[in-house]
A and B are shown apart, each in its own frame.
Chain A
Amino acid sequence: MSIEIANVTKRFGGFVALDDVSVSIPSGQLTALLGPSGGGKSTLLRIIAGLEQADSGRVTIEGLDATNLPPQKRNVGFVFQHYAAFKHLSVRRNVAFGLEIRKRPKDEVRARVDELLALVHLRQFADRLPSQLSGGQRQRMALARALAVEPTVLLLDEPFGALDAKVRKELRDWLRRLHDEVNVTTVFVTHDQEEALEVADEIVVINEGRVEQIGSPDELYDQPANDFVMRFLGPVTQLGQQLVRPHDLQIHTGTADPAAVTGRITRVTRIGFEIRVEVTTADQIVTVTLTRNEFLSLGVQTGDTVQVQVAEQVHIGAAYPQTLGAA
């Protein structure tokens, strides 16, 4: 295990940001810390980097007890949401910063910086100032800067949070490919479950200062440990006392059977290839998502009476006491 976090607690005044958190983050993988804003995930990342001090608990990085080490002795690369570019230095000097601090020979610095700039596709911008780059380019520069010092672990705090949706998606794919190339242990913080599911090898779900679940994207999505994880990772709806994913429900127009619940279609919304059908049963509104073809072959419309049931072999949440509206 590359990063061991043992019983870490952190308070800010009366607010408990992390409550006795223990996590092991595996070497060489891309791990996401996922959770809602204010849940403690950024604080955990900053404690790993040494930018915050834990009130109690220990942090071990590749076998080295880093609990009391200042950030400059931890050999971690840190990438900030708002880039933290050194504004008065050119792109080249930004990337070279860590190597210059380490007093590496000039030739070596130059060669290494050229290599990294090529890796992040910024070679032609080497002599520009950060203010002359777009957000996505600045973040790639920040990534090259963090990688330059050959960090033991690379930590990214909401790295794509300040970028627009299209650039964010591009950089996400690019980060995945970069990680497969460089293979440095990487931890990134995100509140976007789609980002985590798409990019990460492993996801740690953090909420209200606690770890809710640790697992692969498939495990988390298909076998969520609790309702919170189930809700946070994707859309949910309620059928009777069961919490289910809307795409795990089936509609048929046959006669009532004991496994199904009878209801009336009260609304049909089309979102691209997906059709969202709201079925009002005796006591609740159930949301079912179907593909366009499934919906067309059913031949139903608003006002029709249908049977709703859970498709076979899918996970359903534990009984949930209160009635939900459409999720």
Chain B
Amino acid sequence: MAKRPGRYALRLVVVGYLFLLVAWPVYLVGKNAFADGMENINGILEDPDIVHALVLTVQVAIIAVIINTVFGVGISMLLVRYQFPGKRLLSALLDMPLSVSPIVVGLALVLVYGGRTGWFGPALEGIGFQVIFSTPGIVMATVFVALPLVIREVVPVLEEIGDEQEQAARSLGANAVQTFRRITLPAIKWGVIYGVVLSLARSLGEFGAVKVVSGNVLGETRTATLVVEEKYLNFDKGGAYATAFLLALVAVAAIIIVSVIRPKEDR
């Protein structure tokens, strides 16, 4: 009985903390977005430059998620199923995008791929492929910052299922591709889906790295997060909140949908 009040107090603290830090501020963004009814939302949806920014953001996020999913599942298999020298170093390196500030990522990419002074950029530009201040640069920056998310979701699942099912499939005549498609992939399915959702949310919301590499050209390389900043700084708070609301809506919706459809027994 003595435990009870303590437990309730703890719950109250956690709920209060999350409410003040996360729920209430996010709610206010939504509230402000709809302060004048649908006016703010309609306003940004009628502006072709902002629509372009939203479309660009979604395109970049989808490409980045596809790249990170394919690469992430591959790297996870490598990390869990194979022994090789330098494995711990690789694993530590994969966490770097989470620890380094995105703005540093942006600057680093400019140093390598910058069109005029970059280490690799002038050569690429010479064959007509512009990276920095263009969509490829935005995609690269986004891929970089969201890199570990799929891997960190998939690695624990791969470790937990072990490799006996895969060995059994091999002994029953399945080759590597068949084993992966029929056995490994279904087993890690929910880890991959979770990683994809987190990556998608992260990719939609990336700001710092994208700001550096995109050049922030209206109607060309300005993404949705950059629109939010621009509008906010220009005292168009309604437009800023409306755009922010759309960004948050997609990310939160994705996470909620996955938590709802994920089967309970898998957790």
Contacts and interface: CB of A to CB of B under 8 A. Distances in A.
Contacts of A77: 171-172
B170 A71 contact: yes
Interface string A85-104: 11110000000011001100
B175 interface: yes
* Chain B interface size range: 10 to 19
A50 B167 CA distance: 10
A133 interface: no
A145 interface: yes
Contacts, number: 63
A78 B165 CA distance: 11
A84 B165 CA distance: 5
Given A72-B171, A97-B169, A80 B164 contact: yes
A288 interface: no
A101 B173 contact: yes
Contact of A101 (B161, B164, B178, B187): B178
A232 B178 CA distance: 43
> Interface on chain B toward A: helix, strand, loop, or mixed SS?
helix
Interface in A125-170: 131, 142, 145-146, 148-149
Interface in A49-76: 49-51, 70-72, 74-76
A315 interface: no
Contacts of A87: 161, 165, 187
Interface in A183-225: none
Nearest to A76: B171
Contacts of B178: 101
B168 interface: yes
Contacts of B183: 86
Given A86-B183, A88-B186, A71 B167 contact: yes
Interface in B124-183: 161, 164-165, 167-175, 178, 182-183
A-B pairs, top 7 by smallest CB distance, nearest first, are A98-B172, A84-B164, A78-B171, A84-B168, A71-B170, A88-B186, A101-B173
Interface of A: 49-51, 70-72, 74-78, 80, 82, 84-88, 97-98, 101-102, 131, 142, 145-146, 148-149
6 contacts: A71-B171, A72-B170, A72-B173, A98-B172, A102-B173, A131-B265
